[in-house]
Amino acid sequence: MRHLAFHAVVVVALSTAAHAAACEDLAKLSLPNTKISLAEVVPAGDFKMPNAPPAAPPLRNLPAFCRVAADITPAPDSDIKMEVWLPVSGWNGKFQGVGNGGWAGAISYGQLADALQAGYATASTNTGHDGEGSDASFALGHPEKVTDFAWRSVHEMTLKAKSVIAAFYDKQPARSYWNGCSTGGKQGLKEAQKFPDDYDGIVAGAPANYWTHLMAGDVWIGQATHSDPAAYIPPAKYPMIHRAAIDACDAADGLKDGLIDDPRACHFDPAVLACKEGQQDDCLTAPQIEAARKIYAGAKNPRTGEQVFPGLEPGSEPQWVVFAGSPEPPIVASYFKYLLFKDPAWDFRKLDLDKDVAAAEKFDNGLIAATDPNLKPFVAHGGKLLLWHGWEDGLIAPRNSINYFESVGKVLGAKTGDSVRLFMAPGMFHCNGGDGPNRFDAVAAVDDWVEHAKAPERIVASHRTAGQVDRTRPLCPYPQVATYSGSGSIDDAANFACSAPRKP
């Protein structure tokens, strides 16, 4: 037995050494417009993220992997950085590209770690610039960098990552998947629309795909609470508004469980919190009520009355701090400053939701936005798209995803559900967190869909408190909702079925 154990250790050591040599050889790999700057084996254990603050915790318990870093320069002003992580052992034979948030500007190390731990060879890009995700100043005077951010970096990363994978494992990945939320969701949709053969399956969460209108819609939130100082709603009042919204809407689905199943079925008016004479703290003044109503209503064209972008839903109040609580709405104001008007001193209060939105549409012309509903080429090769969105999202209005899904349905027709499905998550914030179940494995669902051609009928999501799961609930393909069977714990997904929504 000792001899066998010793033999196993020797085999593992030799295998690790062989992979280390193969990994280092990747530094010599020649790829178009690409310079590989690093190729080394990272041993199993914790990984300290490059350029992370000293107090930032490392990524824990990673398997050994070959880490490849490269610079891609498809245009004279391009400087696209990417990393490819390749499991030294236990590779599942598949590739997973992972997305970014906001204006990106950094490799998504956390997402790389998640994909690696699931057995994938994985890749991420900084989208062509280094910087904060809330800041678009990189775009000023650099149109090629805007193109890199818009679509080119992800496509280039995808092609180069597949070449690196083939060189390391001596074979192409059997399947390729995309996984992203917010900007990452938009990136996935852009891939499906512009490069339909890059991925077999795409997970697009809370996609920022209607880019120009999203930017205007979130500036609207900032205007609603900052154009008039009296309209400003202190963040300390958000929990009060949130509780009132839940109280008003919770039972609309027939089950009082602390969640708003579909906020569209509820018409919450913040006027119920109106201050009485002499009251100031636990209430809303008339200007604050009007500001809250504007947030729920969403941005509208003042000339035509047309909806520019949907409003946030009742339940989203804890996340209002991002655009309503800041002195200037981050991410979105940056778009108008550095891309559209090219004026760092531009004041978001001046945004004209008629002419400026029209100018933004003309400027973008489909460059960053990913709204094309024609997914026929993507579907033609067996591509599967899994969209999802949290109903309590306070950064990107959930109805935007419904609008895009329905536009795709008009193109694909009755067979839409065979290749494209949308899952709405009650009580979920932007990309994660919230009152409701918000953890689920969408990549596993799309992998099963691609491999077995069986569309997901439900995805079980969980909610945790203090690290412990305290509720599970199925997410259902839109427009279905999770319906309680009438018996058993309301915290157990087994007691719910997906069915048509309850009629009001």
Does the pLDDT at position 6 exceed 50? no
Q: How far is CA 226 from the centre of its chain?
A: 27
Q: What does the DSSP 8-state code read for residue 119?
A: T
From 430, 435, 447, 463, active-site residue: 430
Residues 80 and 126 sit within 8 Å (Cβ to Cβ) = yes
Does the pLDDT at position 14 exceed 60? no
Q: Please state whether the peptide bond connecting residue 63 to the residue before it is cis, i.e. omega within 30 degrees of 0.
A: no
User: What does the pLDDT read at residue 367?
Assistant: 98
User: Looking up tokens 């099963």, which residue turns up?
Assistant: 448
Rounded distance between C-alpha atoms, residue 230 and residue 215, angstroms: 24
Does the pLDDT at position 370 exceed 80? yes
For the ranges 93-102, 280-289, 495-504, the lowest mean pLDDT is seen at 495-504
For the ranges 9-13, 192-196, 401-405, 461-465, the lowest mean pLDDT is seen at 9-13
For 258-305, write each residue's pLDDT tens digit: 999 999 999 999 999 999 988 878 999 999 999 999 999 999 999 999
Residue 388: HSE in the Cβ half-sphere, 13 Å Cα cutoff: 33
Does the pLDDT at position 125 exceed 50? yes
Burial label, 384 (beta-carbon count in 10 A; 0-12, 13-18, 19+): buried
Does the pLDDT at position 9 exceed 50? no
Is 393 labeled as catalytic in the residue annotation?
yes
Enumerate the β-bridge partners of residue 385: 202, 420
User: Looking up tokens 């999203």, which residue turns up?
Assistant: 214
For 217-250, write each residue's pLDDT tens digit: 999 999 999 999 999 999 999 999 999 999 999 9
- Contacts of 53 by beta carbon, 8 Å cutoff, 6+ apart: none
Kind of pairing, strands 45-47 and 384-390?
unpaired
| Residue 319 CB coordination number (10 Å) | 22
Residue 81: HSE in the Cβ half-sphere, 13 Å Cα cutoff: 14
From 356, 393, 435, 447, active-site residue: 393
Residues 397 and 309 sit within 8 Å (Cβ to Cβ) = yes
User: Looking up tokens 């609309």, which residue turns up?
Assistant: 252
- Contacts of 289 by beta carbon, 8 Å cutoff, 6+ apart: 270, 271, 273, 274
| Residue 395 CB coordination number (10 Å) | 24
Q: Is 362 helix (H, G, I), strand (E, B) or coil?
A: helix
Is 124 labeled as catalytic in the residue annotation?
no
Kind of pairing, strands 299-300 and 307-309?
antiparallel
Length of the chain in terms of residues written? 504
Rounded distance between C-alpha atoms, residue 398 and residue 390, angstroms: 7
User: What does the pLDDT read at residue 18?
Assistant: 56
- Contacts of 205 by beta carbon, 8 Å cutoff, 6+ apart: 180, 181, 182, 184, 185, 387, 388, 389, 431, 442
Rounded distance between C-alpha atoms, residue 308 and residue 297, angstroms: 11
Q: What does the DSSP 8-state code read for residue 230?
A: G
From 78, 108, 182, 316, active-site residue: 182
The overall pTM is greater than 0.85: yes
pLDDT band at residue 55, thresholds of 50, 70 and 90?
Answer: confident
Average pLDDT over residues 123-133: 97
Rounded distance between C-alpha atoms, residue 361 and residue 340, angstroms: 10
Residue 373: HSE in the Cβ half-sphere, 13 Å Cα cutoff: 14
Rounded distance between C-alpha atoms, residue 50 and residue 106, angstroms: 10
Nearest 5°: CA angle at 324, between 320 and 329?
115
Q: Is 68 helix (H, G, I), strand (E, B) or coil?
A: strand
User: What does the pLDDT read at residue 504?
Assistant: 57
Long-range contacts of 146-150, Cβ-Cβ distance < 8 Å, separation of 24 or more: 146/339, 146/367, 146/368, 147/75, 147/367, 148/74, 148/75, 148/78, 148/80, 149/103, 149/104, 149/368, 150/190, 150/367, 150/368
Enumerate the β-bridge partners of residue 201: 177, 384
User: What does the pLDDT read at residue 108?
Assistant: 98
User: What does the pLDDT read at residue 17?
Assistant: 52
Does the pLDDT at position 308 exceed 80? yes
Mean pLDDT across the chain: 95
| Residue 278 CB coordination number (10 Å) | 5
The structural domains of the chain, with segments of one domain joined by +, span: 1-56+64-173, 213-333
**Residue 253 corresponds to which amino acid?**
D
Q: Which helix (H) or strand (E) holds 241?
A: helix 238-249
Does the pLDDT at position 12 exceed 90? no
